[in-house]
């Protein structure tokens, strides 16, 4: 069987970025009050979204899919690019070795399915199926997995 190419966004799908951002001590201090996603190290200590880790592990182990993470890191927060790579390895170990793509143009990536919580950075124009995570149709991982497996 030819595996389908499945891409998974990080923030809001696997990693709980919003909670960490709002709890950060620098959140309301200039200059970060205007651009909170530029707080250095912000992406290092994110909690996983409920059931995300076990669900992604099922997809990684599935014979149906070849899984990659497809995320965007803030251009003006260079630590985010490294933090996301380290975070993924902490969660999934060597299983995700070379399965990580950072881009601001998700529409340029070739594939069958993208799980993403927002239309931004090309997600809504992705060439395959866009699974809108957090929407009424795919509100959580349980329902998303049911659709995929
Ligand atoms: Mg997201």
> What digits encode the pLDDT tens for the residues 92-114?
999 999 999 999 999 999 999 99
- How far apart (Å, rounded) are the C-alpha atoms in residues 72 and 46? 15
CA of 125 to the centre of ligand 1 (A): 15
pLDDT confidence tier of residue 83, bands split at 50, 70 and 90: very high
Task: Answer yes or no: are the C-beta atoms of 44 and 17 closer than 8 Å.
Answer: no
11 has catalytic annotation: yes
What pTM does this model have?
0.96
Element (H, E) at 8: strand 4-8
CA of 8 to the centre of ligand 1 (A): 9
pLDDT at 128 over 90: yes
Give the model confidence (pLDDT) of 68-78 as tens digits: 999 999 999 99
CA of 4 to the centre of ligand 1 (A): 21
CA of 119 to the centre of ligand 1 (A): 9
pLDDT confidence tier of residue 1, bands split at 50, 70 and 90: confident
Active-site residue among 9, 83, 116, 117?
A: 9
pLDDT score for 79: 95
pLDDT at 58 over 90: yes
SS3 label, residue 122: coil
Task: Classify domain 4-148 at the CATH topology level.
Answer: Rossmann fold (3.40.50)
Element (H, E) at 53: helix 52-61
Question: Across all residues in the chain, what is the average pLDDT?
Answer: 96
């Amino acid at each position: 069987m030819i595996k389908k190419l499945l891409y998974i966004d990080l923030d809001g799908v696997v990693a709980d970025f919003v909670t960490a951002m709002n709890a950060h001590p620098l959140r309301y201090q200039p200059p970060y009050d205007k651009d909170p996603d530029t707080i250095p190290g912000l992406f290092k200590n994110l909690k996983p979204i409920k059931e995300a880790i076990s669900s992604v592990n099922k997809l990684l182990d599935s014979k149906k899919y070849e899984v990659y993470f497809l995320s965007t890191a803030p251009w003006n927060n260079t630590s985010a690019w490294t933090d996301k790579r380290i975070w993924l390895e902490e969660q999934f170990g060597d299983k995700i070795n070379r399965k990580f793509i950072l881009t601001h143009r998700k529409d340029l990536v070739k594939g069958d399915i993208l799980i993403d919580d927002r239309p931004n950075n090309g997600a809504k124009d992705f060439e395959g199926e866009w699974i809108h995570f957090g929407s009424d149709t795919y509100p959580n991982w349980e329902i998303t997995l049911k659709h995929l497996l």
